[in-house]
Amino acid sequence: LDEEFARGDLGRARDLAIASNRHGESAAAITWLGYDAPQSPDGWGTLAVAGGGRAEDGGRSFSGFMGGLAVTNEHADPHMTAIG
């Protein structure tokens, strides 16, 4: 783990978990870390990261994750929101 990840992604996950607590015990925040977005090698947004392969792989993985949450739900009508 690098400093940017710890301050950025984990910080946002912490903030979301704290915010969800304001809505009572039935609310939860889950941070999915299953996708590593491609980074531009020169830091300027070149076309080297424009391919869709990694995004498609990440989408399939995320869909499986969300499906797993749905099938393990013990309540009649889960309300799930994905923010990305």
pLDDT value of position 13: 87
Between CA 15 and CA 19 the distance in angstroms is 6
Q: How many CB atoms lie within 10 A of CB 78?
A: 10
For the chain, the 3-state helix, strand and coil shares in percent, each to the nearest 5, are: 50, 0, 50
pLDDT value of position 61: 92
Q: What is the greatest pairwise CA distance in the chain?
A: 49
Mean pLDDT of successive 10-residue stretches along the chain, which has 84 residues:
77 88 83 76 66 84 91 81 80
Write down the domain spans for the chain.
1-31, 35-75
Report pLDDT digits (tens) over 29-46. Answer: 888 877 777 777 666 666
- Give the chain's mean pLDDT: 81
pLDDT value of position 63: 94
Between CA 9 and CA 1 the distance in angstroms is 11
